[in-house]
Structure formats: structure tokens, C-alpha cells
Amino acid sequence: MERRTKIILLVIVSVLIIMGIVLFLLNIGRPGAPTPGAGTTNTNTTVGLGTTPGTPPAPTGTEVVPPPPPATVSDDTKLRTGAQNLSVLFAERLGSFSNQSGLTNITDLKSVSTAELYNYLTGTYKTTLMGTLPPADKYYGVTSKVVGTNIDSIDSSSATVTVTMQRTESGTVTNVSTVTRVLTLTRSGDTWLVSRFKVQ
């Protein structure tokens, strides 16, 4: 064999060996590549309680505590909150009106009143209130803002709530006073309705 052919063969063999080494080293650095000396690789990952893939499981003997469940509102709290919110809405709406509004505040109470109370409000109560208002050419208005509530009694079907309001009368003069109303509520399905009220 000629010397030149030997050199060419030697160069080709050397290049092949170097390429083999480079490919071997690149293959080791890839995820999931076989480990040298191992026949097969198990790619299944077992995830323990409280771990996520890629993180080590909790050390042996360490208890993994699951997160607490979301806070729940008790039925009693829901009843009380519903009764209180309805009482505020009813008292402020009933106690806010003017002689130029046609007492539309009363018709707004239909959805939060029992049928019997609503008939009273739109009949006798409205007629009596209209008779006490000055003529519409001179403005007179009342704004009521609840400043305190107290649930006197409550169960799954009825409640009594005392509501304290700041009442501001505006007209030729402004007068501020405190008014207390006692509301009786009745439960209708999942909804509270006002069935009676009185001024203290």
C-alpha cells in the first residue's frame, strides 16, 4: 500500500473516532438519554403526595399536610346577613322621598315586601303621607341613612330587626334627626321579605 493511501485511511479513521466520541458526549447530556452502563432507562416518574414532577418527594417520616379547605359561611351567618341587608335597603328606601317624586320610593319596595304590606304601602300609607307633604311648587325632601342595625330575633322563617337612621329633611329649612324602625321579616323560599314595620 502506498504511503499516501495509508495517510488518507488514517485521517478517515481518526475523523470517524472523533465524531463517535462527540456524538456520545452529546447524547449523554440530553434528557432521557441512556446512562452509560445501563441497559434500559425507566422514564416513568412516580409523584408522591405533596410533590410535583421534577421535585423530590417529601423525606421519609415527614407528614405532608394538604391545604385547608376554603372557608365556608354557616347557614346562620347567611340568614343574619340576608336579614340585615334587606332591612337596610327597605328602611333607607322607605325613608327617602320628596314631594316632587310622586313617592316612587314606595313602588320600589314591591320586590322586598310581602303582598299584604305592599298593598298597605301603596294604599293607606301613601295617601296619609301625601296629605302631610307641602305643595310640590316648594321642594321638600327627606333622605334617610342607616347608621345601625340590631337583629332582635331570628330563626329560619322569621326575624325582627331594629334599624336606626339619620333622617335629613330639606326644604325651607334643614332638620336632622334620628329615627328608629322595627321591621318584621318573613322568609319566602331563600328570600327575606318585610311583612311589617313600625316607627319607635
pLDDT of residue 59: 60
Q: Among residues 101, 112, 96, which one has the least CA distance to residue 166? A: 96
CATH match of 75-199 with 3.10.450.230:
yes
pLDDT of residue 45: 47
| pLDDT, averaged in runs of 10, over the chain (200 residues) | 78 83 74 53 48 58 72 80 96 94 93 96 94 90 96 95 96 92 94 93
How far apart are the C-alpha atoms of 94 and 106, rounded to whole Å? 6
Q: How many CB atoms lie within 10 A of CB 84?
A: 20
pLDDT of residue 91: 96
Q: Among residues 122, 117, 112, which one has the least CA distance to residue 197? A: 117
Note the pTM of the prediction, 2 decimals: 0.64
Give the distance between the most distant pair of CA atoms in the chain.
Answer: 131
* Cα atoms found within 13 Å of the Cα of residue 180, Cβ hemisphere only: 7
* Beta carbons of 168 and 176 less than 8 angstroms apart: yes
Q: What angle do CA 159, 165, 166 make, to 5 degrees?
A: 175
Q: What are phi and psi of 27, to 5 degrees?
A: -70, -35
Encode 34-56 in three state secondary structure: CCCCCCCCCCCCCCCCCCCCCCC
Domain ranges across the chain? 75-199
pLDDT of residue 30: 63
